[in-house]
Amino acid sequence: MAAPKTTAIHGLLAEFDKPEALVEMARQARAEGFTKIEAYSPMPIHDLDEALGLKNKLPLFVLFGGLAGMAVGMGLEYWTSVIEYPTNIGGRPHFSWPAFIVPMFETTILFAALTAVFGMLIMNGLPQPYHPLFHVKRFAEATRSRFFFLIEAEDPRFDLAGTREFLARRKPLSIEEVPN
């Protein structure tokens, strides 16, 4: 969106050893007007959702997934039992809807669960075998014990020296340039 930056790096990565510091960093960066930012932690930190203003539409997709499963389940049962292959089972009606509820319920759950998992993966851009952050050696700690904050070079407010100075104000353990 902004004019391409002259820097060839992906962004600047600050490392913290306390989750509180990461949350505070996120809050400040957002207040400062940075938009291309991301926080990394070894476990979910709920305060970050607030600090970064994160929302997601996954529940809505899952609702539609479940409704689709419901329609597919009942549709399949209706079509096979009434139209394609009607059989007289103990004199019961072809459309024995009370008995059809059980498979319909299962397909509802199945479609909703598939939507939840694959929806989450797709919206997260996973699987993603390559990411510039994997070049940073210390970043391996992001899944063990350390907390990282990234400001991408693509951010309109990003400028190498100024942003580095901004990150340094929060006293991180380290600041690294992430190669592209």
Q: Which part of the chain contacts other proteins (CB under 8 A), choosing from 7-15, 45-53, 155-163, 167-175?
A: 45-53
43, 167 contact by CB (below 8 A): no
Residue 139, CA distances (Å) to 6, 62, 107, 131, 149 in order: 25, 33, 41, 11, 10
Contacts with other proteins: how many residues (CB under 8 A)? 69
- Per-residue binding letters, 121-140, with other proteins (x by CB under 8 A): x-xx-xxxxxx-x-----xx
Q: Residue 173 interacts with other proteins (CB under 8 A)? A: no
Q: How many angstroms separate the CA atoms of 60 and 67, rounded?
A: 11
Q: How many angstroms separate the CA atoms of 168 and 19, rounded?
A: 17
Q: How many angstroms separate the CA atoms of 143 and 54, rounded?
A: 21
Q: Which residues bind other proteins (CB under 8 A)?
A: 19-20, 23, 26, 38-50, 52, 54-56, 58-59, 62, 66, 76-77, 80-81, 84-85, 87, 89-90, 92, 96, 99-100, 102-103, 105-107, 109-110, 112-114, 116-117, 119-121, 123-124, 126-131, 133, 139-145
